[in-house]
Amino acid sequence: MPKTLLQKLWEAHEVVPESVDTPAVLYVDLHLIHEVTSPQAFTELARRGLGVRRRDRTLATLDHSTPTRTEQVFGGAPIAVESAARQVRELETNCASFGVELLGLPSRERGIVHVIGPELGLTQPGKTIVCGDSHTSTHGAFGALAFGIGTTEVGHVLATQCLLQRKPRALAINVAGALAGGVTAKDLILAIIGRIGVAGGTGCVIEYRGATIRALDMDERMTVCNMSIEAGARAGMIAPDETTYAYLRERRRAPHGRDWERALEGWRALPTDPGARFDRELDIDATGVEPMITYGTNPGMVMPISGSVPERTADPAFARALTYMGLEAGAPLRERPVNVVFVGSCTNGRLSDLRAAAGVLRGRKVARGVRMLVVPGSQQVKAAAEAEGLDRVFLDAGADWRESGCSMCIGMNGDTVARGEYSVSTSNRNFEGRQGAGARTLLASPLTAAACAVRGCITDPRELLNG
Amino acid sequence: MAEGTLTPAADREAMRIHSRTVVLPAANIDTDQIIPARFLTTTTRTGLGRQLFADWRYGADGAPRAEFALNRPEAAGCQILVAGRNFGCGSSREHAPWALRDFGIRAVVSTEIADIFRANALKNGLLPIVIDEATSRWLIEHPGAQVTIDLEATTLTLPSGVAVSFPIEPFARYCLLNGIDELGFLLARVPQIEAYEQRTARS
């Protein structure tokens, strides 16, 4: 019987299949850990006298509450947020005492957990990957089954390398048509979320399919899968293909030599078989997608940047969101002044994202009164960007250039947006207070964010790309 | 197999909750509202109740907002939170159910509850109760209603005496009712895990 990618991965990882009474015992190939959602799990292990079952399948890094200011990362100044400093130290201590590898503050391979997994070649097709972070869906871009878990489950995986899970439903999103100039993978996924809503994928794993998806490079595929959770889905997946293999070949922790050939053979069998049935299917035409921007307080409240804020007077939550954002229904967003521009995060903090933003900023300046922060997704992204002079482009334009981390996407590391300020951000969540109490976030692509920084107001990036 | 555990999953009192409701009618209440990220630098599970819904409960000056539902005198002691659809969307932070439990909430009732939040809630003795649109509308329109949630019977009983049944993952229900610890259950499967690792050359 023909099977979906999800079905194949699921069956290959069932230690004990599910029954009516009990969920499946599902094996985890790769467990990624960070400082915020792991301390209580290690405490529980210690309390029970348990160790980490598979240290070779566990990797920790520091990203969420970790500062991005060089002197705080590499010494010379203490970490400004005291509780964050404690959390960083606790992960260091836990990794040392449980024997877990930590890409810590001095490491050149440290970075946002969802950027470093792929970059190191640890994220591979056919793997199950979990992390105490909902954007673990990012890794699905490689044809992995990757999803976020809570801290109790982090403890389960540390102790047993397994999780108790019910099989999710499979949702196919078929995307056809070429993306227009100035339109990016970020705009595509925002358009998809706008279409299906923030709960449209609840209970499902999304497989993104179709010619448009096949044409995306790995960075773009990661951006798409990253925001699957913003549509309520546990995970997003894209079947592996030559693009995937070309990305992974020669990565430090990818298989090499004969192991590579053997792995490749297995990966080629993963894509969904012709005729396999999904629980739901949805078709998206990418040709009409424009640069997108959010106007509200969840990622489903999104519109083409050239449009106007919709009017839904009957919905009190909608009115509340607009009040929070200080925006009016029916009004255009273009030309509205912005205070902050953030380029970074696990959604858009990879090298190609920085190149896109730098392409707009080259030879231009960040508008007076606008604060722009560019935060590479990892130390390796930082080094690569510096090797091609992107840091100079950002610094010359008047932007701030930092060490890697989650930074302003989550605002728990000293990088925040002030109350009432408008922030155009390449991150993934525009929830109330996400970037700081009272902050007003507008999600957009790196191209759009850079264009807004240059003009100091909401700007369609195509104006600057064509000019 | 389950020895005493720190996790409230073994709370046998979770079987039946008899309480007035407190209502937050908004749809899509995300985990950043339930517990804002700046409070996630804690390294323990306890004490987050004070920061539950912090940005809705307190003004910019830190003073409680009298009009917010959880700050009203009649909300004191309420153990059931009724909320709009898609409650708990957003991040995987288990701090969200920790904060709700620490505040005294033992069940969240909505027409839809986000996946990761629901899983986290069940591991902390917080019941995620999904009900139909009409029941939800009635509950949202009648804050403070006295209702009973019976996990064993999987019913929510309205003040009228009408009992509405709700779906719940059977294993989680079994664990909650019998004080079974999920990690203990998994540890008891180590022989199968070892066999799997050998079978798939994952050793």
pTM of the model: 0.97
B28 in Cβ contact with B84 (< 8 Å): yes
- Establish if B2 belongs to a structural domain: no
Neighbours of A316 (CB within 10 A): 13
pLDDT (average), residues A217-240: 98
- Alpha-carbon gap, residue B47 to B99, rounded angstroms: 7
**Chain B CB within 8 Å of residue A86 CB:** yes
- Alpha-carbon gap, residue A233 to A236, rounded angstroms: 7
A207 in Cβ contact with A5 (< 8 Å): yes
Give B22 to chain A, closest Cα distance, Å.
18
CATH architecture of A169-240+265-285: 3-Layer(aba) Sandwich (3.40)
For the record, the structure tokens of B51 come out as: 């920061």
Cβ-based contacts of A83 with chain B (< 8 Å): 41-42
Cβ-based contacts of B30 with chain A (< 8 Å): 298, 429, 431
Fold agreement between A5-165 and A292-466: yes
Side-chain-side CA neighbours of residue A307 (13 Å):
15
Looking at per-residue pLDDT, the higher value among B118 and B13 belongs to B118
* Length of chain B, in residues: 203
Highest mean pLDDT: which range of A80-84, A317-321, A340-344: A340-344
Do residue B40 and residue A64 have CB atoms under 8 angstroms apart?
yes
pLDDT at A151: 98
Host domain of residue B152: 8-199
pLDDT at A277: 97
pLDDT at A250: 95
- Establish if B32 belongs to a structural domain: yes
Cβ-based contacts of B177 with chain A (< 8 Å): none
- Establish if B97 belongs to a structural domain: yes
- Alpha-carbon gap, residue B102 to A393, rounded angstroms: 48
Do residue B186 and residue A25 have CB atoms under 8 angstroms apart?
yes
pLDDT at B7: 44
Q: Which of A153, A232, A410 sits opposite B89 (nearest CB)?
A: A232
Helices (H), A234-330: 242-248, 257-267, 316-325
Do residue B43 and residue A43 have CB atoms under 8 angstroms apart?
yes
- Establish if B1 belongs to a structural domain: no
**Chain B CB within 8 Å of residue A80 CB:** no
* pLDDT, tens digit, 9 for 90 and up, residues A5-51: 999 999 999 999 999 999 999 999 999 999 999 999 999 999 999 99
As a whole-number percent, the residues of chain A with pLDDT over 70 amount to: 100
A408 in Cβ contact with A344 (< 8 Å): yes
Question: Quick one: CA dihedral A382, A384, A390, A396, positive or negative?
Answer: positive
Neighbours of A243 (CB within 10 A): 17
Q: Which residues pair with A207 in a beta bridge?
A: A172, A237
- Alpha-carbon gap, residue A19 to A26, rounded angstroms: 13
- Alpha-carbon gap, residue A299 to A316, rounded angstroms: 17
Give B16 to chain A, closest Cα distance, Å.
21
Run of H or E including A296: none
- Establish if B122 belongs to a structural domain: yes
Do residue B44 and residue A40 have CB atoms under 8 angstroms apart?
yes
Compare all CA atoms of chain B with the CA of A54 and give the residue at the minimum distance.
B203
pLDDT (average), residues A165-174: 98
Question: Using 50, 70 and 90 to split pLDDT, how confident is the model at B4?
Answer: very low
- Alpha-carbon gap, residue B27 to A322, rounded angstroms: 14
Cβ-based contacts of A298 with chain B (< 8 Å): 28, 30, 89
* pLDDT, tens digit, 9 for 90 and up, residues B9-27: 445 555 899 999 999 999 9
Q: Which of B44, B114, B120 sits opposite A232 (nearest CB)?
A: B114
Q: Which of A47, A150, A433 sits opposite B123 (nearest CB)?
A: A150
Structure ipTM:
0.96
> What residue ranges do the domains of chain A occupy?
5-165, 169-240+265-285, 292-466
pLDDT at A233: 98
Do residue B186 and residue A164 have CB atoms under 8 angstroms apart?
yes
- Alpha-carbon gap, residue A463 to A443, rounded angstroms: 19
Q: Which CATH number characterizes residue B175's domain?
A: 3.20.19.10
A194 in Cβ contact with A302 (< 8 Å): yes
- Alpha-carbon gap, residue B117 to B109, rounded angstroms: 13
**Chain B CB within 8 Å of residue A199 CB:** yes
Q: Pick from B6, B23, B39, B41 the residue to mutate for testing the A interface (most A CBs within 10 Å).
A: B41
pLDDT at A314: 78
pLDDT at A312: 85
CB proximity under 8 Å: A 134-163 to B: 134, 136, 148-153, 155-156, 159-162
Q: Is the pLDDT of residue B94 over 50?
A: yes
Classify domain A292-466 at the CATH topology level.
Aconitase; domain 3 (3.30.499)
* pLDDT, tens digit, 9 for 90 and up, residues B120-164: 999 999 999 999 999 999 999 999 999 999 999 999 999 999 999
- Establish if B47 belongs to a structural domain: yes
pLDDT at B12: 56
**Chain B CB within 8 Å of residue A234 CB:** yes
**Chain B CB within 8 Å of residue A349 CB:** no
Run of H or E including A327: none
- Establish if B176 belongs to a structural domain: yes
Q: What is the mean pLDDT of chain A?
A: 97
Compare all CA atoms of chain B with the CA of A168 and give the residue at the minimum distance.
B115
Is residue B190 packed enough to be buried (19+ CB in 10 Å), middle (13-18) or exposed (0-12)? middle
Rg of chain B over Cα atoms, rounded to whole angstroms, equals 18
pLDDT (average), residues A412-419: 96
Closest CA to A91 of A167, A163, A37, A141: A37
Angle between helices A39-48 and A151-160 (to 10 degrees): 50
A169 phi and psi angles, rounded to 5 deg: -80, 160
Q: What's the DSSP call for residue A457?
A: B
pLDDT (average), residues A399-418: 97
Q: Report how many domains make up chain B.
A: 1
- Establish if B3 belongs to a structural domain: no
CATH architecture of A5-165: 2-Layer Sandwich (3.30)
* pLDDT, tens digit, 9 for 90 and up, residues A93-139: 999 999 999 999 999 999 999 999 999 999 999 999 999 999 999 99
Is residue A261 packed enough to be buried (19+ CB in 10 Å), middle (13-18) or exposed (0-12)? exposed
pLDDT at B9: 43
Side-chain-side CA neighbours of residue A88 (13 Å):
23
pLDDT (average), residues A406-424: 97
B65 in Cβ contact with B57 (< 8 Å): yes
Give B48 to chain A, closest Cα distance, Å.
13
Query: Hey, what amino acid is at A356?
Result: A
Counting one residue from chain A and one from chain B, the pairs whose CB atoms sit within 8 A come to 178
Cβ-based contacts of B93 with chain A (< 8 Å): 36-37, 150
